Structure 1
Amino acid sequence: MRDPVLTGGTNLTKAVIVAIALATVGFAAIQYKASVTGQPIPGNISPVGVHIAIGAFMFGIGMVIAGGCASGTLMRVGEGFSMQWLSLVFFIVGSVWGARDFNYWKPTFIDGSVKIFLPDVLGWFPALVVQFGLLMGLFILADWFSNRKSLEK
């Protein structure tokens, strides 16, 4: 999301959306085969709860302060941006602190939360339609945003 806002370019955004779509095909095939044969579904089906909202809020604040996410910070450190070293230090401190407090968060918030696996809720075909529909919508939005920016010039 950084590139469309800062530079108006959406090539990387669209490439990530296509990569997620391709990964969805592979993961869905593996998971569907497991469900049909009665095996446990591979992958991590994580609970959804208040811990997600709190983590997303904290992550968003950190991204604004740092000027990007963790991968962006690591990329900029490698490019020689000295201000990102400070972000990296606090990224490490926050990760260590989070790992230390995980034993509090897990039983308090995570264990009691509901696990949602979209194919169990909607069925396999509708779940894939929703997934690909959302990805297509994001791709069209990114393409529109890029075209809009180029028309303004």
Structure 2
Amino acid sequence: MAEDNNVKTTAPSTSRIKRSSTRTRAPRKPKKNQIPLGVILLIIMVAFGIYVTTYSTNLALFWIIGSSFGFILQRARFCFTASMRDPYLTGSTSITRAVLIAFAITTIGFTAIKYGYASKGLPIPGMGYVVPISGATVIGAFLFGIGMVIAGGCASGTLMRVGEGFQMQVLSLLFFVIGSLWGAHDFGWWKLHVISKGAPIFLPDYLGWFGAVFAQLALIAFLYIVAYKHEQKNSSH
């Protein structure tokens, strides 16, 4: 009987605690309708695009491509940092697989362009960007990866979130610009004393054009399967 009395006396107190907690909960603010702002911004973007055509059609084309690219990035939440970070933090590999698909498409597209030039005996475009691979590549990639995780985004992700109004990303963008300018200032020394010590690797020189495409697509397919299996394994737990 004593235990029953204790239960009866404690039950109302817990219910009162629940009622008091619900009373103190702040009501949610209604979301603002951003459609009018979006329409105004679209009108400004179109007007600016028309304005730059008076100077150069290329500027108008760059404006359209840049705006479209930013819109796609924002809607898709596409970010290279997330593609490497999410598999470890959340187990999701959707962005990782999207990046791999993008690599596969660009592999086919750029190879077609370069092979078209090479088959006609013309200089292959972009060959100046086949830079030597050395220990500097590994160290630079490692440091850049750490910076991306701390900043919360890569270059594209940072620009996207700046457009969304994230103040922290504005700070990241500021130091991104400072670091890029500093790196460009000292790049000559690094190229002469570090980067040039490595060896450039152009896969078609070793495997042929079709062999290089096959090898790269096979590696991308393997990574895609690994990423897919990783997400399935984490979702099953």
Q: TM-score normalised to the size of structure 1?
A: 0.85
Q: Distance in 2 between matches of 1:128 and 1:50?
A: 25
Give me the CA root mean square deviation: 2.0
Which residue of the other structure, out of 92, 99, 105, is the alignment partner of 2:184?
Answer: 99
Structure 1 pair 115–99 and aligned structure 2 pair: CA distance change class (3 A)? same
Q: 2:115: which partner in 1? A: 32
Letter matched to residue 36 of structure 1? S
* Superposed counterparts of 1:85-124, under 5 Å: 85-124=170-209
Q: Which structure's relative contact order is higher, taking Cα pairs within 8 Å and 6+ residues apart?
A: 1
Q: 1:10: which partner in 2? A: 93
Q: TM-score normalised to the size of structure 2?
A: 0.58
- 8 Å CA contact retained: 2:85, 2:149: no
Give, in angstroms, the shift of residue 87 of structure 1: 2.0
Q: Distance in 1 between matches of 2:203 and 2:105?
A: 18
Q: State the Cα deviation string for residues 75-118 of structure 1 (Å, max 9, x = none).
A: 33333333333322221221111111112112222334322100
The runs of 4+ residues in structure 1 deviating greater than 4 Å are: none
Q: Identity over aligned residues, as a percent?
A: 56
Residue ranges of structure 2 left out of the alignment (5+ in a row):
1-83
Which residue of the other structure, out of 113, 133, 146, is the alignment partner of 1:61?
Answer: 146
- 8 Å CA contact retained: 1:2, 1:68: no
Residue ranges of structure 1 left out of the alignment (5+ in a row):
none
The total of aligned residue pairs comes to: 152
- 8 Å CA contact retained: 1:49, 1:113: yes
